[in-house]
Amino acid sequence: MAISFASAFAGHDKTLEFRSARAAVLANNIANADTPNYKARDISFDSLLNNESKKLQLAGTNSRHISAEGFSGESEGLLYRNPNQPSLDGNTVDMQREQAEYAQNSLQFDTSFMFLDRKINGMKKALTGN
């Protein structure tokens, strides 16, 4: 019986990839807080999920089936953030919001990492018999 890592990790590996990508986007926003006309960006899980689901191809088993092609929207699910109070220089980065989002994302990353670590430790125990 073969071990499927995709099912064994229960999606926690993909969650870590998403959290890492979001941390990079949020850090980029924080780094450009003083850049004139910089527009803050963010990745939402829903937009990323929609972007990935649009890449799925429908299986046509009959010649009368209609072929469907997905709409490719914004690349990688990146969205522009609407500012609560835009600055005079056109920058839309709200430093307090960015720091709060970064801290929340970091906590969620740590939680996903803990779940993945426990899955791997469980698999190790199962293989070694402990």
User: Domain extents for the chain?
Assistant: 11-33+43-49+75-81+88-129
Give tens-digit pLDDT for 102-127. Answer: 999 999 999 999 999 998 898 889 88
**What is the dihedral sign for C-alpha 85, 89, 90, 92?**
negative
pTM for the model stands at: 0.72
Alpha helices in the chain (DSSP H): 5-8, 12-31, 45-54, 95-128
Task: Please check the confidence at residue 76 and state whether its pLDDT lies above 80.
Answer: no
Of residues 87 and 62, the one with the higher pLDDT is: 87
State the Cα–Cα distance between residues 41 and 55, nearest whole angstrom.
Answer: 22
pLDDT of residue 60: 65
